[in-house]
Amino acid sequence: MKTRIYFIVVLSGWLLSGCGKKESSAQMEALPVEVAKPVVKDVTLTRDYPGYLTAENTVDIVGRVNGTLLSKLYPSGGRVKKGQTLFVVDPTLYQNAVKEAEANLKTAKANLDYAKSNYERMKEAIKSDAVSRIQLVQAETNVQSCEAEVSNAEAELKTAQVNLNYCYIKSPIDGIADLAEFSDGAYISGEGNPVKLTTVYKYDKMYAYFDISDNQYLTFELLRNPDTKIPEADHEVTLRVGADGAKTWQGKLNYLSPNFSLSTGTMRLRAELDNPDGVLKPGLYVSVTLPYAIAEKAVLVDNASIGTDQLGKYLYVVNDNNEVNVRHIEVGQLVDDNRRIVTSGLSPDERYVTKALMKVRQGMKIMPVEKK
C-alpha cells in the first residue's frame, strides 16, 4: 500500500513538471510585436484646396506714340525700379513738335500783349471821341481772340511735351520686367491705341486664390463672424508647392467674396503671403490648407499601422490577454504627416500593433513590446 502511494506521488510530480515546461515553451514562442496606445490631444482640423498665385501688382508697359524703338534699357527678367527708363522711342519728331509749340505760344503771347495794349488805348481815346464805340468793341474782341489763341498754344505745347515724355517709357513700379515684345529698331504705332512692350511684376507679396463650396462655408468659424471680418490671428493658412508639397509658406486670409458663384456654387477666398526672395511666381498652382475647427481630445494612431480591406480601414488591437483582434475603425484627417485621427472604433486606453503587420493575424497571441 505504501509503495502504491509513493508511485502515485512521483508520477504526479513528473506530470506537473512536464506541464510547466510546455507552458514555458509556449511563452517563448510568442512573437515580440511593437504596440502602443493612441495619442490623445487637441487637433486643428484643416481642409486642402487647389489654388493659384498672382503677383501683388502686375503692370503692362505700353508705348503711346508712333516711332522707331531705339533701345531697350533693362535686362529681360531683371529687377527694375520705379521711374526707371525701360525703352526709348526716337524722340526727334516730338522734340521738334515741342520747339514749334513753344514758338507758337511765344507768338500768341506777343499778340495778346499787343491786343491788350491797343484795347487800353482805345478805352482812353473813346473818352475824347477820338475813336468810335465799334472800334472799342473790335479791340476788346481782339483781346479775347488772342487770349483763346494763347490757351490753344499752351494746350498744344502741353500735348507736345507729353508726347515727348512718352518717348521715354518708364516703369511705374518696382518689380521684375518680362521679355520685350519688340526688338530695337522696330516701329511701333502706339498713338491712339497703346502697344504693349513688356510687363512688370511686383511680387514681394503674393496672393493665393482658391474656392470653397457653399456646404463647407457653413462649417468654418471664420464665416460665422457677424461683422463679416476675418480675424487675422485665427485664420492663417499654409500653402504647399510641388508634387510632394514639401516646401511650405504661411499666409493670412485677407479677402472673402461677398457672394457665391451661381454657376459653380463656390465662394472665392484670397490669402496674402510674403515672398521676399521671389521664389514664388505668378501662375504657380498651390495647395492651400485652411483650418476650420478644433477637435478636442482627438484619438491619434500611427498612420502606417492602419490597414485596408473590403470593409474599410482597420487596426490590429491587442486585448488584456495579449491576443490580436482585427478592429475596423473610422478615420479622419492626417496630422503631422504621420498620425491619423480615429473618429470611432478605438478607445484611448487600448493598445494597437504599430509594426510587423504582415506577421500578425486574428486571434494570435503575441509578446507586446511597448513603443518608445
Average pLDDT, the chain: 85
Kindly report the CA angle at 96 between 63 and 161, in degrees rounded to 5? 50
Given a cut of 70, is residue 16 above it in pLDDT? Answer: no
Decide if pLDDT at 284 tops 60: yes
CATH class of the domain whose range is 46-55+202-295: mainly beta
Nine cell digits for residue 371: 513603443
What's the order of all strands across the beta sheet hosting 85-89? 168-170, 85-89, 66-72, 187-189
Q: Report the candidate in 207, 269, 265, 261 with the shortest Cα–Cα distance to residue 235.
A: 269
Strand partners for 291 = 46
Where exactly does CATH 2.40.420.20 map onto the chain?
A: 29-42+296-370
Q: Give the whole-angstrom CA distance, residue 121 versus residue 139.
A: 9
Q: What is the pLDDT of residues 3-13, one digit of tens each?
A: 444 333 333 44
- List the one residue out of 61, 65, 58 whose CA is nearest residue 73: 61
Which residues belong to CATH 1.10.287.470 in the chain? 91-163
Look at the alpha carbons of 358, 363, 364, 370 in this order and tell me if their dihedral is positive or negative.
Answer: positive
CA distance 328 to 248: 34
Give the CATH class of 29-42+296-370: mainly beta
Q: What is the pLDDT of residues 207-246, one digit of tens each?
A: 999 998 877 777 665 545 444 344 444 478 899 987 666 7
Q: Quote the pTM value.
A: 0.69
What are 103-146's pLDDT values in tens digits?
A: 999 999 999 999 999 888 888 787 777 778 888 788 889 999 99
28: helix, coil or strand? Answer: helix
State the span(s) of the chain assigned CATH 2.40.30.170: 46-55+202-295
In this predicted structure, the answer to whether residue 36 has a pLDDT above a threshold of 60 is yes
CATH T-level assignment (fold) for domain 91-163: Helix Hairpins (1.10.287)
**How far apart (Å, rounded) are the C-alpha atoms in residues 170 and 173?**
9
